[in-house]
Amino acid sequence: MSTVEEKSQEVTEEQPDDATPVDPPEPPPATEAEPKGGILPAFLIGIVASLIVGWVVFPQLLYSKKRQPVDFNHAIHVREVGNDCAGCHYFREDGTFSGIPKLDKCVECHAEPIGISREEADFIEKYVATGTEVPWYVYAKQPPCVFFSHAAHIKMGHMECATCHGDIGESEHARVYQENRITGYSRDIWGHNISGYTRHTWESMKMADCARCHQKENVHQSSVQTKKGACFVCHK
């Protein structure tokens, strides 16, 4: 429900029929005195206002913006470390995926500064020197009920990282992390467009997105009840 809508209702309710002034700055005139012509503009104003609120204001309010603790440059790392994404985001022997590297992976190269950037010096001083893990915000973090297998998608499905993660590997700066104030999850899950409309596969990571692709590729469409993907494929 819209906040504007609520407000307007409140006002209408509180407005007594006997035209007692309640709104000091502009006491409303008697109903009969109201010109009939103002209805359509008011209706249109209502529509426009709520459209602005719903499409522009609401997303601003819904998401808090957070800077990553370190302004990470993916492009330079892909270039210098090599081996594409797998240089840092690799599979472990048991088939699990390492995800965001831990500090010890960074230290493999950054025990001492190897560049001249201020950002790197800060990173070494703040995290490497103290042995503190970097509290990265994870753009693709899924709720705890989700089991996502990178092995199934990358090793078996031969999918590209970019299919879900986009061109993050080419970024030179860490994007601002937008966190949904209600759910606590990243804006990337729903997608940047508040309508949920996406043009590319990497723009959102909701259950429907997984299901769509699974249906298209006929992956485990074995649920007797839904005739679609079984629950215990992606859930735990």
Are the C-beta atoms of 202 and 162 separated by less than 8 Å? Answer: yes
Q: Can you tell me the distance from the alpha carbon of 154 to that of 65, in angstroms, rounded to the nearest whole number?
A: 31
Listed residue (140, 142, 138, 122) closest to 130, CA to CA: 122
Q: What values do phi and psi take at 74, rounded to 5?
A: -65, -40
Give the residue with the Cβ less far from another protein, 165 or 220.
Answer: 220
Give the residue with the Cβ less far from another protein, 116 or 145.
Answer: 145
Instruction: Report which DSSP code applies to 180.
Output: E
Give the residue with the Cβ less far from another protein, 68 or 185.
Answer: 185
Residues in Cβ contact with 129 at an 8 Å cutoff, skipping those fewer than 6 apart:
none
CB of 171 to another protein, least distance (A): 25
Q: How far apart are the first and last CA of the chain?
A: 33
Q: What is the DSSP string of 93-131?
A: TTS-B--SPPHHHHHHHHTS--S--HHHHHHIIIIITTT
Residues in Cβ contact with 229 at an 8 Å cutoff, skipping those fewer than 6 apart:
210, 211, 214, 215, 219, 220, 221, 222, 223
CB of 150 to another protein, least distance (A): 8
Give the residue with the Cβ less far from another protein, 97 or 171.
Answer: 97
Give the residue with the Cβ less far from another protein, 124 or 161.
Answer: 161
CB of 139 to another protein, least distance (A): 16
Give the residue with the Cβ less far from another protein, 73 or 177.
Answer: 177
CB of 83 to another protein, least distance (A): 16
CB of 223 to another protein, least distance (A): 4
CB of 227 to another protein, least distance (A): 10
Q: Can you tell me the distance from the alpha carbon of 236 to that of 93, in angstroms, rounded to the nearest whole number?
A: 22
